[in-house]
A and B are shown apart, each in its own frame.
Chain A
């Protein structure tokens, strides 16, 4: 078994009992990355989240779900039916030895099996309980049914995402539970900082709906201040006269993110002129685009669609002659604020991520393969984040934790196995 030196980590010697399902996996992941011993508890047979696609080599097997494999790295894993009376002592012992319990059951479920917050602090007065649920622990919608789609809808991001002539659309990889999980980690750390200073502990109540609202950028103030709300237009800039300006562009091998505009803002004029200079240096700037005075002719609020179409048509022609990597590299040199719309291949091949060694290779014993995936979420000079363990297989640490650490006697262990409690 790998022995890990977590001496220089934030949460060295701290334990997290991770009872979450897909709604909270990232909470335990972040706490584990910060150095905690996170024990992922799965029901016998494994988490339902293991059925989430895409799968390793398209095999829909519970050890091969890519989202599961990413979100549960650095954790140890056991299987246990926490609702069974026979597991009560084990659960009590696990809570006693933990600093955090994190969970994402329907509100009230833990109380119904005798493990509500009040019971938990009787078992361990120092425990921090973090609950990550779609709408929070109480209120008129707290028992509503959800999925990621419903969360993105009810948190406001979806209404503003997509094309005006089609239904609202969600981001193509489920996001709401990732937000809920990482927010749960941030909130848990705040509660932990308080506990370490004062000894006082508490029940942290995270609302995934509110987490999604916090992705709405500028939008929530529109209704109270202006009596309007933002609609979706795929982030085209549309001025009061209905003139549309582009923000994504096709190029030779994909798409880039770029805006050309003028008016009072010096930085915008500098970008516009910089792009025209580049096009001109390759003989691709039209006389028309060269004649534009970016301060007076191209103010976002007054420019006509006809002028915009001529300018953007010329820029588009130029972009078609370049790859996204070429556009990015020269855009960086000329400070044109030009980004790429990357896919997974671009990210895997990014020279920037390569220079920072962001993607890492983690060996997975069940797959007998090394998998390349995103590494530490940020860099800390004194307590660096280390990815030291692949996501656990189902019940991988049952022997280690139940027998070696909790010292359950062998006949009980066998009984629990036979009755499908482990």
Chain B
């Protein structure tokens, strides 16, 4: 019998979109009881996004939302109503952790900010995560991870030197921040267990992001220079890039670090005449003539499809791999071996594969159930967790609170 790490830990989850829900998911998938508080009147925008069941957007159809919200119960209520605020406060009293990710004014407007809540629950652990943090002149900036990726410095360092800044796909800071926040949040839980003291965590997602672009900041503060984008080039490797393969937009990445790997690559290519040129023997030479090398490698790689080429190059100990699209990820033998995608049964969407975690805890494996349809557990939460009777719940429904 395996145990769940966070069995008995209770979370009132007011978070939406990316960072907050993903962070809470780490605990939910490992046994915490999570009530995800949302409003059908003002839904999480991811609930209306793609990919949706049959391609038709709908509040219960979105895998974009579901993938970040597994193993949670959904309570839906209209947060503009005072009755809802009262219910929220009861959930705070029930909870060990309050999670929220609004621009820093929403919780205050509802009277649900940390200062107010710690008065009714002194040992509360609460996190707030937003773009710019809770303080400072830009605190009220309303953006998303796509603006966060820009402000944290990722776009000017990415892309081609002869073109403008390039988006890193997605809302990049949304996928840096949860890892830091989870480490701190779990630490705060342990600290409270040890000392009885709760606390408040303030995360700026842009500050979290800059931990990953720190080198660009230091290049300026230390060397007085602006870090320049250089496509796929690297100061430590040559050749180094994505090379076209057979098929529609198919590519393989190859990274050569030293003479030995270069020799292996030349042999794997069948020792073509061009590669025997002495100017390619040293790293400096390969760096100098990188364009020429890239052109020749591409001509060779274009005759192969990327999966078989990956096997061929790896069997010669060459760092190489398919530039995977998300179809490839579902078919990747290593991810199949690790059971990365787990099919979960959603109350509206049916069986859909979800991403599993990035780590395995063999003694306490993650134990996921599908994300909720909106308000799926409203009655259960109100009756089983808050102890309301059916008449009370009926009145709330009639008054339009529970939507």
A-side residues, CB < 8 A to B, are 10-11, 26, 30-31, 34, 51-54, 56-58, 66-67, 69-70, 135-136, 138-142, 144-150, 152-163, 166-173, 175, 178-179, 182-194, 196-198, 200-207, 209-211, 213-226, 229-232, 234-235, 247-248, 250, 254-257, 332, 335, 337-348, 351-353, 355-356, 358-359, 371-374, 377-383
Contacts and interface: CB of A to CB of B under 8 A. Distances in A.
B182 A54 contact: no
Given A167-B232, A202-B364, A207 B157 contact: no
B11 interface: no
B140 interface: yes
A382 B199 contact: yes
Nearest to A191: B361
Contacts of A30: 180, 183
A19 B220 CA distance: 30
A170 B232 contact: yes
Contacts of B64: 217-218, 221
Interface in B228-255: 229-232, 234-237, 240-244, 249, 251-253, 255
A53 B352 contact: no
Contact of A147 (B140, B141, B319): B319
B387 interface: no
A205 B360 contact: yes
Given A145-B318, A173-B157, A203-B362, A167 B180 contact: no
Given A220-B329, A247-B167, A372 B221 contact: yes
Contacts of A222: 50-51, 326
Contacts of A339: 143, 146-148, 150-151
Contacts of A220: 67, 326, 329-330, 341, 353, 355
Contacts of A169: 158-160, 166, 231-232, 242
Which label, helix, strand, loop or mixed, suits the secondary structure of the A interface? mixed
B360 to A, nearest CB: 4
Interface string B1-36: 001011000000000001000000010001000000
A207 B150 contact: no
3 closest A-B pairs by beta carbon, nearest first, are A339-B147, A217-B170, A221-B63
Nearest to B229: A172
A329 to B, nearest CB: 9
Contacts of A340: 150-151
Nearest to B261: A145
Interface string B197-234: 11111111001101111111111111100110111101
B278 interface: no
A232 B182 CA distance: 30
Given A153-B322, A184-B359, A339-B143, A378 B184 contact: yes
A213 B358 contact: yes
Contacts of B194: 196
B242 A374 contact: no
